[in-house]
Each structure stands twice: as C-alpha cells, then as structure tokens.
C-alpha cells in the first residue's frame, strides 16, 4: 500500500512596520504584490525568496502544495486595521478550506509587523490560525532577521526559523530550513522543542550587517552552535528598532531535538554573548553627516577610489532629500540617485517625454523628517513603466514592479524617480534604465544592509550618512513610548563612562 502524499499549505503576510512614520499602509500596497492560490508556484518557484525555499523542499519531497495567500509590501508606516483584517481574514479562510486535506502549514511572517490597534498582529494571526486549525496542527514559520520576536508569538508555531544573513541572501535557505524541519516533524524523525532568550537590546538596522564584526563573529558562533548534536536550528533575531512596540528587541531562538534544557542553555549562551558585545555592536562603523561624507568622498575620488557609495540609511520612505540637498549644493562628481520614490515627478517626466527638459520639486514628501522637496532642473533621459525580475543577489528572480519610472539628469546628478516605493539594492536600476554604472563617481543609496551583496564587490568605498530622519543609527533620538524598560540603548542608558558630568 502506498503512503498518501503529503500536502502542505503555503502562505504569508509580511511587513516591516516603521511605527514612527506618519502615513498608514493601506490594503492597496499589499494588493499590488499579492499572490494567491495556484499563482504561488509559478510566481516563486526557483526564486531566492522564503516561498522559493518552501517550494523547493516540497518539490524535492513530492509534497502537494496548496497555495493560500502571499501578501507583502515595502517597509512603511503602521498597517491600517482594515488592511490587516482583510488580509488576515483571507489567509485564515483559505487555511480553513484546506484544513482537512493539508498535513501542515508553511507560513512566512516578517516578525516586525504592527497595525493600528494591535502591536503584534502576527501573534494575533497565529492565534486565529491555531483556533481554526487546532493546537496540534503542524505550523512552521520563516521570519526576517529583523523580527521583534516575543515568547508568545514564537510559541504559537511548532518551528520558527529566521534569516541568518543581512543582506538577506539566505531567504530561500531559511524557507528550506523551516520546511525541512516541518517534514522531519511530520515523519516523526524529530521532535522540535524551542527555547528563547532575550538579551535586552535592539540594533539599528545599519549595524545589523552580518559581515561586519562583532556581529559577524557572534553569527559564526551561532552557526557553530547550530551544528552541535541535538540542536536542530538556531536564529539570532537582531530586532527591529523602528517599531515602537512592547516586544521590541533581539531574540535568540534555539530548536533542539526533544531536549528542552539543551535549547535553553544554547539560547541563553548566545544571548549572553550579545549582552557582552552590546556597546561594540552599537558602534560597528563610522557615521558621517552629509557634508562630511561629501568631503570624504571628494578625497577618495582624488585618490582614484571610485565609485563611492553614500548611504542615506535613515531614510525610511525612499524619498528623503537631506543628502541630495548637500549633493546639489556641493557637486563632487558624476552622481546617480537610484530609486527616489516620487510618483508626481515620475508622471511629470513622463509627460515631458524623453529629451524634454523640466523643472520640478523632488522628494521630501513622506514625512516632516524627510527633508524639504528640492527644486531641480534636468533633462528626461528615460521614461517608461518598469517591471522586471530581480537579477541581483538579494531576492533573485522575484518580479518587481516600479510603475512609471523616469531618469532625470542635470548633467552632474541623475535621479531615477519611481511611482512605487522600492529601495535600490543592486545594479538593476542602471541596466533597466539604460545607464552605464561605470560612468558614475558617486552612487547614493537608501538601503541599510541589502545593498552590500551587490555593491561591496564593486564599490571603491562605502560611507554611511547619518541624517535626522526616522531610521537613524542613534536610536536615543527617537520618541519611543511603548518600548519596555531595559532595552539597550533606548530605555537603558549606556554604562557610566567614568567621567564626571558637566555641572
């Protein structure tokens, strides 16, 4: 007698919520990229995404896939209750439809989603799924390294795995880790038990690059610990500093094979390492203000170091103008600004047409901290709707839709304006818009860590620019209200430096 084939349901609801941003995230933003039912396999098979990883394990094990709903949008402000309820209702209803047929659920969550009226809607979603699927229904969740993962949320799933790299080049690998553990549990080969330890700190995203020490060294220790007998998986979540929620902060999550004490010891040991290194983790690279960065860039260019990547990392809306304002005032070299989110500018450039000249205001529209809209005059070099599959190392193969997109160039500074809010992290903006990347001395990006996968090999230098925006490295400047006591550095002062304060 042949065994009945395994069937797994696949779905996800993914958003990294910056609670400080004034604009809510509406349903429309998720619908733009939502994939449902039978569309899920062709959309994600073979891609370096969590779903790509889920699907690979399913394919390798002849698992039948039931697609639920995969909804995601770019990091932005709090999700409206309506958007969340609509998407969660659909996901839960589709799960109910497959409850009898499916043997388990593979779910992708970010770990730092927040909606109006609910600081932890992922926990609420898992509670709803548990209530309809049952306490014993196997659920594996793959999450982002930047998750704020509290105990209650994690304990609602049987298996929780998170990205181990930032840039997140291991999305598919993480989906595979979670799916393989779920398959092991279903076959009875393993008995996953989880333990969490929380070190009481949160890292600004810019310092979560996993190839920069000391995080690099702690990640290496984590991977070594994951190889010890009895341990099935470990994730070190750095937390997401820009979601002001009670569960904010880093988490070490260890999964052992039946041995809860081993899982606890392992999680606590790595958590203690984070506590020990917390000050160094918070000062992992130098920060420049815009003009200091341009001075440094000019000096590097004079030495023949190019291109220089300037990183306006604190921009959480992809339209901040602090750095652009300085670049327009002090023209240091041939400069590219890929993917400035400005639908009005994209439309104006399209109306002017390729070759046309126009004067317009650029950027600075998403919040009062995004800088002023800047007056800019240039020629339109490119204008078209842009939709392509990502060729870079981050999210390789995933379809990207920027809407109407244009290159406006004043001879020194070429700005690519987009209709959709997308962060430039690879060299696709250049190839897609007909620009030669070798022409540019300076490339101004707004990524935090993901750009490193494509740009570290080609950049002469990378300078981190700190601006007074919603995603700064200096977290103590942000108005936290919900973070609990004891989260370094936001609700716990750095240790006394031994110096007397000025009186």
Which stretches of the chain bind Zn ion, using CB under 5 A? 144, 146
In whole angstroms, the minimum distance from the beta carbon of 166 to Zn ion comes to 6
DSSP-assigned letter for residue 452: H
Q: Cα–Cα distance between 477 and 493 in angstroms, integer? A: 13
| Residue (350 or 447) nearer to Zn ion, CB | 447
User: Could you count the other beta carbons within 10 Å of the beta carbon of residue 472?
Assistant: 21
| Residue (210 or 320) nearer to Zn ion, CB | 210
| Residue (162 or 429) nearer to Zn ion, CB | 162
User: Could you count the other beta carbons within 10 Å of the beta carbon of residue 5?
Assistant: 10
Q: Cα–Cα distance between 158 and 163 in angstroms, integer? A: 17
Q: Cα–Cα distance between 73 and 317 in angstroms, integer? A: 13
Q: Cα–Cα distance between 73 and 93 in angstroms, integer? A: 21
In whole angstroms, the minimum distance from the beta carbon of 146 to Zn ion comes to 4
In whole angstroms, the minimum distance from the beta carbon of 151 to Zn ion comes to 21
In whole angstroms, the minimum distance from the beta carbon of 143 to Zn ion comes to 9
Give the nearest residue (CB) to Zn ion.
Answer: 146
| Residue (300 or 311) nearer to Zn ion, CB | 311
In whole angstroms, the minimum distance from the beta carbon of 112 to Zn ion comes to 8
| Residue (163 or 339) nearer to Zn ion, CB | 163
Residue 107's φ and ψ, nearest 5 degrees, are -120, 140
Token duo for residue 18 = 């910056």
Considering just the CA atoms, what is the radius of gyration of the chain in Å?
23
DSSP-assigned letter for residue 244: -
Q: Cα–Cα distance between 320 and 161 in angstroms, integer? A: 33
Tokens 């310092």 belong to 207
Under a CB-based contact definition with an 8 Å cutoff, are residues 196 and 252 in contact?
yes
| Residue (432 or 449) nearer to Zn ion, CB | 449
Q: Cα–Cα distance between 164 and 237 in angstroms, integer? A: 8
Under a CB-based contact definition with an 8 Å cutoff, are residues 108 and 145 in contact?
no
| Residue (208 or 427) nearer to Zn ion, CB | 208
Cβ contacts of residue 348 below 8 Å, gap of 6+? Answer: 358, 360
| Residue (143 or 433) nearer to Zn ion, CB | 143
In whole angstroms, the minimum distance from the beta carbon of 74 to Zn ion comes to 12
CA angle (83 as vertex; 77, 88 as ends), nearest 5: 120
Q: Cα–Cα distance between 457 and 279 in angstroms, integer? A: 28
Question: In a 10 Å sphere around its CB, with 0-12 CB exposed, 13-18 middle and 19+ buried, how is residue 237 labelled?
Answer: buried
| Residue (177 or 306) nearer to Zn ion, CB | 177
Q: Cα–Cα distance between 275 and 269 in angstroms, integer? A: 10
| Residue (146 or 365) nearer to Zn ion, CB | 146
In whole angstroms, the minimum distance from the beta carbon of 8 to Zn ion comes to 25
Give the DSSP H or E segment for 383: strand 374-389
Under a CB-based contact definition with an 8 Å cutoff, are residues 126 and 105 in contact?
no
In whole angstroms, the minimum distance from the beta carbon of 167 to Zn ion comes to 9
Token duo for residue 442 = 């300076």
In whole angstroms, the minimum distance from the beta carbon of 475 to Zn ion comes to 17
In whole angstroms, the minimum distance from the beta carbon of 50 to Zn ion comes to 12
| Residue (144 or 466) nearer to Zn ion, CB | 144
| Residue (146 or 185) nearer to Zn ion, CB | 146
Name 196's bridge partners.
253
In whole angstroms, the minimum distance from the beta carbon of 109 to Zn ion comes to 12
Cβ contacts of residue 152 below 8 Å, gap of 6+? Answer: 120, 123
Task: Give the HSE-up count for residue 421: Cα atoms under 13 Å, Cβ half-sphere.
Answer: 19
Q: Hey, is 181 helix, strand or coil?
A: helix
DSSP-assigned letter for residue 17: B
In whole angstroms, the minimum distance from the beta carbon of 486 to Zn ion comes to 24
């Amino acid at each position: 007698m042949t065994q009945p084939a395994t069937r797994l349901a696949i779905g996800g609801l993914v958003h990294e919520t910056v609670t400080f941003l004034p604009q809510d995230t509406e349903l429309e933003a998720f619908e733009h990229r939502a994939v449902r039912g039978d569309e899920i396999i062709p959309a994600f098979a073979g891609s370096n995404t969590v779903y790509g990883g889920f699907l690979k394990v399913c394919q390798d094990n002849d698992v039948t896939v039931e697609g639920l709903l995969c909804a995601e949008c770019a990091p932005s402000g709090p999700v409206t209750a309506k958007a969340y309820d609509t998407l969660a209702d659909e996901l839960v209803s589709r799960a109910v439809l497959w409850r009898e047929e499916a043997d388990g659920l593979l779910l992708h969550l970010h770990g730092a989603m927040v909606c109006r009226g609910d600081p932890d809607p992922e926990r609420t979603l898992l509670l709803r799924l548990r209530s309809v699927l049952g306490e014993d229904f196997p659920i594996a969740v793959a999450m982002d390294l930047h998750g704020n993962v509290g105990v209650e949320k994690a304990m609602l799933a049987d298996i929780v795995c998170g990205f181990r790299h930032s840039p997140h080049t291991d999305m598919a690998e993480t989906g595979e880790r979670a799916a393989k553990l779920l398959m092991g549990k279903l076959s009875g080969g393993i008995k996953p038990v989880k333990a969490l330890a929380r070190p009481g700190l949160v890292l600004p995203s810019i310092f979560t690059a996993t190839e920069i020490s000391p995080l690099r060294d702690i990640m290496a220790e984590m991977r070594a610990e994951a190889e010890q007998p009895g341990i099935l998986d470990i994730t070190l979540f750095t937390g997401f500093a820009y979601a002001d929620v009670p569960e904010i902060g880093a988490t070490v999550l260890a999964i052992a094979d039946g041995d809860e004490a081993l899982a606890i010891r392992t999680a606590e040991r790595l958590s203690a390492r984070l506590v020990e290194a917390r000050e160094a983790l918070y000062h992992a690279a130098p920060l420049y203000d815009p003009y200091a960065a341009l001075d440094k860039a000019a000096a590097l260019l004079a030495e023949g170091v190019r291109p220089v990547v300037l990183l306006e990392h604190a921009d959480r809306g992809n339209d901040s103008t602090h750095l652009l304002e300085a670049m327009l005032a002090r023209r240091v070299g041939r400069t590219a600004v890929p993917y400035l989110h400005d639908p009005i500018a994209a439309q104006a450039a399209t109306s002017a047409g390729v070759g046309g000249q126009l004067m317009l205001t650029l950027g600075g529209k998403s919040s009062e901290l995004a800088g002023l809209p800047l007056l800019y005059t240039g020629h339109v070099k490119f204008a078209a709707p842009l939709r392509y599959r990502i060729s870079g190392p981050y999210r390789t193969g995933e379809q990207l839709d920027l809407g109407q997109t244009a290159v406006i160039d004043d001879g020194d500074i070429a700005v690519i304006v987009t209709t959709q809010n997308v962060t430039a992290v690879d060299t696709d903006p250049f190839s897609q818009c007909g620009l030669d990347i070798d022409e540019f001395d300076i490339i101004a990006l707004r990524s935090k860590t993901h750009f490193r996968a494509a740009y570290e090999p080609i950049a002469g230098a990378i300078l981190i620019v700190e601006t007074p925006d919603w995603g700064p490295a200096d977290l103590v400047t942000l108005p936290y209200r919900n973070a609990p006591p004891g989260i370094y550095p936001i609700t716990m002062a750095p240790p006394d430096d031994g110096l007397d304060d000025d009186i």
